[in-house]
Amino acid sequence: MATLDELLKIDGVVAAGEFTADGKLGDHKSKMDMSPEMAAMTAQYCATVTMMFNTLAGAYSQLSKMNWVPQQGWAYSGGEWTVAVGGNRGVFVETAKADFNQLFQALVGSR
């Protein structure tokens, strides 16, 4: 898996960070102006969405009889931006510049 510095070198990525399961901010690096409050809120957001997808994946696996667990990653795009998360790390990326195959390879590795 890529380091935060390596993630920042991917085309379009402007911020990369780590978060704990309970939403605390770990290390983060940014090429944009990101306040400590925004970084902390982003960590909490990413942890919450990750937890929600973990719950939904387990329930949907039982309902659909398809294997959706363990979760490997997720992404949300809105406006001009995408958040992509793998495990406890995520990036902010300009959607128009995003190569999602490259991003998820860097975030979760080969599958």
The 10s digit of each residue's pLDDT in 35-90 is 999 999 999 999 999 999 999 999 999 999 999 999 999 999 999 999 999 999 99
**Number of structural domains found in the chain:** 1
Asked if pLDDT for residue 25 goes beyond 90, the answer is yes
Domain of residue 54, CATH code: 3.30.450.30
Q: Domain of 69?
A: 4-108
Asked if pLDDT for residue 110 goes beyond 70, the answer is yes
What is the reported pLDDT for 111?
A: 63
What is the reported pLDDT for 1?
A: 79
Q: How far is CA 98 from CA 30, 31, 48, 81, 88, in A?
A: 16, 16, 23, 9, 20
Residues 6+ apart with CB under 8 A from 89: 1, 4, 7, 16, 17, 18, 19, 107
What is the reported pLDDT for 35?
A: 95
What's the pTM? 0.92
